[in-house]
Amino acid sequence: MPPFFPRYLITITDSSVRVHRCGEERAIVSGAPPKLSPDDVLTLKGREVILDDLSQALICSNQDWINAYLDERGQVEVGHYLYQQIFGKVSPYELAEDGTGIEVRIITKDENIARLPWVLLAHEGVFLSTMGWSVSLSADIQTADYELPPRPKILAVVPQPKKLEATGAEEHLQDIRELLTAADLVYGDDSCFRIVSDLPSFYEELAALQPDILYYYGHGIGDQHATRLLFADQKGRTVETPLPDLAAAFHSLPEHERPKLAYINCCQGDSGGLLGAGRQLLKHIPAVVTNRTTAFMNAACPQALAFWESLLLRGDSPHTALSATRSRLGSLGLTTADIRWMTPVLHCRYERWRANPPILPKDDRSQHDQGNWHLKVDRQVQYSLVSYLIRTMLRTRQVKGYAFLWYGHPEQGLNIFHRRLDVELREELHDTDVYPIFPVWPEEMADPHRSLSEMICKAFEVSTPASIPGRIRTDGCRTAGNPVLVYICHEPLQTPERFHPKYISTYLKWWANEFLPLLPESAFALLGFSYATNQPENFYKALTSDLQPDKLDLGGRGVFEILNELSAVNKEDLHRFLQTHSIHLPSDLRNKVLNDILDCTQGSYLRILEELRNLKNRCYREELEASAMKKDSDNDPWKNAF
| Tens digit of each residue's pLDDT (9 = 90 or more) over 567-597 | 766 677 676 666 665 555 556 566 776 777 7
* Contact yes or no for 245/203 (Cβ under 8 A): no
Give the model's pLDDT for residue 363.
42
The per-residue pLDDT of the chain, averaged, comes to: 83
User: What is the share, in percent, of the chain residues with pLDDT greater than 90?
Assistant: 40
Q: How confident is the model at residue 608 (pLDDT cuts 50, 70, 90)?
A: low
Report the 10 Å Cβ neighbour count for 62: 17
Residue 365 backbone class (left: φ over 0; alpha: ψ -120 to 50; beta: rest): alpha
Residue type, 103: E
Give the model's pLDDT for residue 619.
56
| Tens digit of each residue's pLDDT (9 = 90 or more) over 144-199 | 999 999 899 999 999 989 888 888 888 899 889 888 887 887 887 788 999 999 99
User: What is the share, in percent, of the chain residues with pLDDT greater than 70?
Assistant: 83
Using the predicted structure, report yes or no on whether residue 528 has a pLDDT greater than 70: yes
Alpha-carbon distances of 592 from 190, 408, 574, 587, rounded to whole Å: 28, 27, 12, 10
Average pLDDT value for residue range 521-549: 92
Give the model's pLDDT for residue 364.
43
Give the model's pLDDT for residue 70.
87
List all residues 6 or more positions away from 557 whose beta carbon is below 8 Å from its beta carbon: 399, 400, 401, 512, 513, 516, 517
Q: How confident is the model at residue 611 (pLDDT cuts 50, 70, 90)?
A: low
**Closest residue by Cα to residue 301 from 197, 414, 215:** 215
Report d(CA 460, CA 388) in Å as an integer: 27
| Tens digit of each residue's pLDDT (9 = 90 or more) over 211-238 | 999 999 998 887 777 888 999 888 889 9
Q: How confident is the model at residue 628 (pLDDT cuts 50, 70, 90)?
A: very low
Average pLDDT value for residue range 293-314: 84
DSSP state of 142: P
Q: pTM for the full model? A: 0.65
List all residues 6 or more positions away from 591 whose beta carbon is below 8 Å from its beta carbon: none
Residue 134, beta-bridge partner list: 103
Residue 586 backbone class (left: φ over 0; alpha: ψ -120 to 50; beta: rest): beta
Average pLDDT value for residue range 531-548: 91
Q: How confident is the model at residue 362 (pLDDT cuts 50, 70, 90)?
A: very low
Report d(CA 423, CA 435) in Å as an integer: 11
* Contact yes or no for 342/120 (Cβ under 8 A): yes
Report d(CA 303, CA 320) in Å as an integer: 14
Q: How confident is the model at residue 512 (pLDDT cuts 50, 70, 90)?
A: very high
Residue 17, beta-bridge partner list: 12
DSSP 279-301: HHHTTT-SEEEEESS---HHHHH
Q: Which of 119-123, 270-274, 457-461, 578-582 has the highest mean pLDDT?
A: 119-123
